[in-house]
Structure 1
């Protein structure tokens, strides 16, 4: 069984998505929340300083910039956000070429991302990908935590088990731009790291990962 799994931000998309989504959603749902953007920037500084983890950061960002909104509304806004980003920025050509290769070879394809499911699924539809393993949102919190690093690996394992597969028994390709995805990259038979940074590419090469430039 061949399985190909792709990260979303800076891998299929050209840029990160969460802060742009918060701004897009605030503008659409409650424009007055745009005045809170400096607070969000301060929260990101706090995260980088190690004051809290990404789950707390993203929960706070949703409450601050989006507020109490039903999942149906978030899905609608997420769809429009994905449409706009794809139209304005396009998608990563090098990764799209890999995706077409996987399709020709009959791979089972999935996106595994820390992005929220309600907009990650909209990007997946642009790519004709049915399976999305992403961060969940219940309107107040992130059940199961941010789909990131070891948590992402656990979620991917659970998905594979639901398909009656074990990752170790599959021919696994994993594509990402992030060292946080090292657990999946190290497990993959074909680990592919995509980056425009020569420093990051050298670091990834030293770990034995295949390199694709995002230039």
Structure 2
């Protein structure tokens, strides 16, 4: 099997009215997924007794692998088990911030940070589009200097002090993520023919986002994306090579 070669950051294109760089987060910018890590971070620091539910978390994972539940249901179930059906916004916010600090300190690909810096320097508007929860993604994005965030929302009634362990709208994944991107472009009056778009992802589920881009980069890709990328003419890079 061909090896993934480390490559320098993508270079700037010709001038456009808008430049947008779209990044997936988990295993694209980060070295591993962040969802389970966040749940464990909160449970250990807030209500350690909830760790007794870990066998049920594993059982939910089996249910997902057997297609008895979908991704949205899995995320809501695990959130209920390890954080609670309903939790105080002010109580969770500091834990989201401390988790973001943890991710930034030792959970990022150095080459991803280099590419983010290069895109920013080239005048790109940085968009983070991820299936992870806004609850903690926003804190990570602030630390990275990301301009805009699209992430999975939780039910947060206006004016309420509590967040509910259920998704508000679709899980920001695959086609649903791309629909959110399309809405974001329209809301910001960015038309396709007036924009140069780059997209970065490690996973084949982001095919719609990658296909939409002028420059698509498969970053340390999953097996399926590694096979698909050369057929689509997408660049393949290994961001694990640089610490």
TM-score calculated relative to the size of structure 1: 0.93
2:185 aligns with 160
Conserved in 1, the CA contact under 8 Å of 2:201 and 2:221? Answer: no
2:35 aligns with 18
Conserved in 2, the CA contact under 8 Å of 1:157 and 1:167? Answer: no
* Residue among 55, 60, 79 paired with 2:97: 79
Which segments of 5 or more consecutive residues in structure 2 lack a partner in the other structure?
A: 1-17, 156-163
Which segments of 5 or more consecutive residues in structure 1 lack a partner in the other structure?
A: none
Distance 1:151 1:167, change over 3 A: farther
2:166 counterpart SS class: coil
Greater helix proportion:
1
1:120 aligns with 137
Distance 1:73 1:106, change over 3 A: same
Conserved in 1, the CA contact under 8 Å of 2:204 and 2:224? Answer: no
1:69 aligns with 87
2:200 aligns with 175
1:30 aligns with 47
Q: Does 1:188 align with 2:213?
A: yes
Task: Return the offset for 1:168.
Answer: 5.2
4+ runs deviating over 4 angstroms:
196-200
Task: Return the offset for 1:120.
Answer: 0.5
Aligned length: 214
Task: Return the offset for 1:85.
Answer: 2.3
Name the Cα RMSD after superposition: 1.6
Conserved in 2, the CA contact under 8 Å of 1:54 and 1:146? Answer: yes
1:142 aligns with 167
1:36-115 → structure 2 map (5 Å cutoff): 36-67=53-84, 68-87=86-105, 89-115=106-132
2:235 aligns with 210
TM-score calculated relative to the size of structure 2: 0.83
1:14 counterpart SS class: coil
Distance 1:110 1:72, change over 3 A: farther
Larger Cα-atom Rg: 2
